[in-house]
Chain A
Amino acid sequence: MKNKTKNGIGLHIVKRDAIPWYKAMGIRGLALLISIAVCAIVTWALTRQSPLGVMQTIFLGSFASTRRFWVMMQDLSVLLLISLAMAPAFRMRFWNIGGEGQVMIGCLATAACMINFGKSLPNGLVILISLIAAVCAGGIWGLVPAVCKAKWNTNETLFTLMMNYVAIQLCAYFIIIWESPKGSGKVGIINQKSHAGWLPTIGKYKYLLTVIVAAAITVFIFCYMNYSKHGYELAVVGESQKTAKYVGISVGKVIVRTMVLSGAICGLTGFMLVAGSDHTITTTLASGRGFTAVLVAWMAKFNPFGMIFTSFLLTFMSKGAGEVASNFNLNESFSDILTSIIIFFLIGCEFFIQYRIVRQKEAK
């Protein structure tokens, strides 16, 4: 009688010990298919468009033209970069949700350099100074909460969160100083005529450079987390701070070092956004990707190569949802609905990877 289920439906939940990777991917793939099917049904119910047409439209959102493909790759790369920045801190169980602010402060530093030095210094130097400024600014945005955590054990979740608002308000302040024309509240394209401080374009589209940088950082983070002494130390700190102390790892030092790295990569992302693709600064330049990155990193279990897949998935689906909304004359809210359906299934499926549901055997 001891196994008798209490809910009376004869099912119960069991934690899985381990699951082969192909099975885990299978579950995720299945979840993706179901989510697309649900999207198709919801769209059909509201618009009477054929579900196949809807799926085709989702696909076309990213692949209808060469430009769309590259725009998707650029968005994917930016999301991936921020996710990569999150990963080491998360592995260390330092809950950094300040990616948004760390990116924004990198954007701000880059824009400041482009605006102030764009006229006086040669292009290469402007780019170099912008890069250093952005990486340092992002690093400082990671450093401050890390030092407070290491010294006074402050709550890093709240601290990094608040740092976001500080960064965004700073951006808002400087946008008013730099706005053009006065009173418009917009900076516009920085150095549109001279292109000072703009990163060079590789090939026909300016998106390729970000993709290359993201690929390089992916490999770097993978090696850093798996094959370096630093990576090992932060994993130990994440498992147990007491063990870390016992084996002689300075926990505070590891926290500070890792967060500076996180912040610096976010700052680099901000640099790529402003100098590489957007060439402007707005308070919404990071557009919530600092938070989406948390999801991306988590869904990939902090595996850099897994994050390529998860960030592709989220980017692909949001492009597709946007295309469905615009092709069928529905507004942005509808694409939000589709995106949430997809995220619901993708997060939900993690449950089935961690646990399995077994039918209760009647114990006699």
Chain B
Amino acid sequence: MKKQIALVLSVLMAAVPFSAFAGETEAAAEAAAPAGGAVIADAPVEADVEIPSDMKFGFIFLHDENSTYDLNFINGAKDAAKALGLSDDQIILKTNVPEGQECYETAADLADQGCAAVFADSFGHEDYMIQAAQEYPDVQFCHATGTKAHTEGLDNYHNAFASIYEGRYLAGVAAGMKLNEMIKDGKITEDQAKIGYVGAFTYAEVISGFTSFFLGARSECPSATMEVTFTGSWYDETAEKEGAKNLINDGCVLISQHADSMGAPTACEEAGVPDVSYNGSTGDACPNTYLISSRIDWAPYMMLMMKNTAAGEPIPADWTGTLASGSVKLTDLNANVAAEGTQEELDKVTAGLEDGSIHVFDVSKFTFKGAALDESFQADVDTDEAYTPDTNVVSDGYFHESEYRSAPYFDLNDADNSTGIDGITLLDTKF
């Protein structure tokens, strides 16, 4: 009997670290980054469509509301439903759906329940959404952050993203002005204007994000440089905090991040280093260092999905939300931390981005391995196993991010020499 008890105990003890391990690895495919152009993004949202009161929409989320990443989507779904006057019965939310067979089963189950459209929020859901889309041709399947819709050739499968690189550029502008203020106050010299960045993976979405942030900062503070470290996880509070601390010890005077925990903001608050966060304000927890944050608002896309489905209009294979469509938002500039005149400058740059007089990836503004990109430059837009560059993405003097597909593909980095574009140093890489 004793042995049996010991066995039961050891099974229980074994199960605990296992479930912790599971949580960590399942978190590994959240996304969020840049997008925003003409070729694929200009599908209009149908105006004044009445959604039938018996039409239902299904939503699949990787985690529940405890994850800031998923909370952002859950709020988007609820906001869209509210804006269109849907009842609670018309949206079915499925949380904690892993990126595996369960995603297909949940999507198919939602279709069985009569949903006219099904939405999934995590990168790793893509293959399973495609599988369900093939089986249910009359149901619309929409997937955030995916890359395959434009090559898959399915009428009812769609990708969406937002030009969050514009949001990060603007956040970078606020950061650059903060650096200027620190130089002016004599806290640092021009050469010491080094930014630190905690990223999740060495992956196009993250590279596009930190490069746009850096370009925004350097548009204000020309001497700015940046160091990037990767955690290898979308959510790892300890690693993100450690990463931020290492950057600060390495002489970085301002920190930003592309990972989902409070790790980096907390490290900054403890060290008194200004911080640009992501996916929403961290001002409550870090009142003395939080500067500004950018995020994607998914409600506009979800409304498009609902209205076009109800009207029987096609949903574009790729849709990129922009500043103008209300998909890219800057949140809560912290006046206690920001440099004087930041808001005015942000308004000016926002207007420039919207009217096309400013482009984030203006090839005259940055170099890679000492040279500017020219029009022969190709990026890997169509997903393939060898990551072959296949599409010319530079024209009219700028890199057209998120215009040939919604998910970002700006991935300029030279891992062998530990650099991004000139001015950015990669301390490590994590794939």
Q: Which residues of A contact B (CB under 8 A)?
A: 65, 67-68, 71, 95, 97, 100, 157-158, 161, 164, 168, 172, 176, 179-186, 188-189, 192, 277-280, 282-285, 287-288, 291, 294-295, 326, 329, 331-332
A31: min CB distance to chain B, Å: 18
Are B100 and A100 interface neighbours, CB within 8 A?
no
B25 proximal to A (CB < 8 A)? yes
**Lowest 6 A-B CB distances belong to which pairs?**
A183-B203, A185-B28, A189-B127, A278-B101, A183-B201, A186-B124
Question: Which of the residues B7, B14, B124 comes within 8 Å of A188, measured between beta carbons?
Answer: B124
Other contacts beyond A183-B204, A185-B28, A189-B131: 10, CB < 8 A: A65-B112, A158-B10, A176-B431, A185-B124, A185-B201, A186-B124, A291-B14, A291-B15, A295-B11, A332-B95
Number of B residues, CB within 8 Å of A: 49
Residues in A neighbouring B95, C-beta threshold 8 A: 326, 331-332
CA distance A41 to B181 in the complex (A): 61
**Are A192 and B130 closer than 8 Å at their CB atoms?**
yes
Residues of B within 8 A of A68 (CB): 109, 112
B128 contacts A by Cβ under 8 Å: yes
Verify B64–A181 contact, CB threshold 8 A: no
Q: Which residues of B contact A (CB under 8 A)?
A: 3, 6-7, 10-11, 14-15, 18-19, 21-22, 25-26, 28-29, 64-65, 92-96, 98-101, 105, 108-109, 112-113, 123-124, 126-128, 130-131, 147, 201-204, 206, 383, 385, 387, 430-431
A67 touches B25 (CB 8 A): no
Judge whether A181 and B101 touch: CB under 8 Å: no
A-side contacts of B126, CB under 8 Å = 188
Decide: B14 and A280 in contact? CB cutoff 8 A. no
Instruction: Assess whether B11 is in contact with A294, with CB atoms less than 8 Å apart.
Output: yes
Q: Interface on chain A toward B: helix, strand, loop, or mixed SS?
A: loop
Cβ A164 vs Cβ B14 within 8 A = yes
Given A183-B201, A189-B128, A280-B101, check contact A287 B123 (CB 8 Å). Answer: no
A161/B387 in contact, CB under 8 A? no
Q: Please name the residue on chain A nearest to B88 by beta carbon.
A: A329
B109 touches A65 (CB 8 A): yes
Given A186-B29, A188-B126, A288-B19: A277 touches B14 (CB 8 Å cut-off): no
**Residues of A contacting B431 with CB < 8 Å?**
176, 179, 182-183
Q: Shortest CB–CB separation between residue B182 and chain A, in angstroms?
A: 33
A97 touches B11 (CB 8 A): yes
Min Cβ gap A18→B in Å is 18
A residues within 8 A CB of B64?
331-332
Q: How far is the CB of A293 from chain B (nearest CB, A)?
A: 10
- Contact flag A280-B203 (CB < 8 Å), given A95-B7, A332-B64: no
CA separation between A100 and B309, bound complex, in Å? 43
A181 touches B383 (CB 8 A): yes
A46 to B414, CA, bound (A): 55
A186, A189, A332: the one contacting B28 at CB < 8 Å is: A186
Question: Which residues on the B side are within 8 Å of A329 (C-beta)?
Answer: 93
Q: How far is the CA of A283 from the CA of B127 in the complex (A)?
A: 17
- Tell me if A280 and B94 are in contact (CB < 8 A): no
Query: Which A residues are CB-close (under 8 A) to B147?
Result: 181
Residues on A with beta carbons closer than 8 Å to the beta carbon of B131: 189, 192
Which partner residue on chain A sits nearest B94 by CB separation? Answer: A326
Determine whether the beta carbon of A332 is less than 8 Å from that of B203: no
In the complex, A109→B429 CA distance in Å? 28
Which listed residue (A181, A189, A331) contacts B96, Cβ 8 A? A331
Contact B99 A282 (CB under 8 A): yes
User: Which residues of chain A are near B26, meaning CB under 8 Å?
Assistant: 282, 284
Quick check: A184 and B7 within 8 Å, CB to CB? no
- Measured CB to CB, the nearest residue on chain B to A70 is B105
A222 to chain B: closest CB distance in Å? Answer: 23
Do A291 and B127 touch across chains, with their CB atoms under 8 A apart? no
Say yes or no: A67 contacts B130, CB within 8 Å.
no
Chain A residues closer than 8 Å to B94, beta-carbon distance = 326
Which chain B residue shows the least CB distance to A336?
B19
Given contact pairs A179-B431, A278-B101, A288 touches B18 in the complex (Cβ within 8 A): yes
Q: In the complex the two chains form, what is the Cα distance from A312 to B430 in whole Å?
A: 42
11 residue pairs A–B, Cβ–Cβ below 8 Å: A67-B108, A164-B14, A172-B25, A183-B202, A185-B29, A189-B127, A282-B25, A282-B98, A288-B18, A294-B11, A331-B95
Measured between alpha carbons, how far is A265 from B178 in the docked complex, in Å?
Answer: 62
A146 vs B236: C-alpha distance in the bound complex, in angstroms? 37
Residue in B10, B21, B92, B203 whose beta carbon sits within 8 Å of that of A182 in the complex = B203
* Chain B residues within an 8 Å CB radius of A280: 100-101, 127
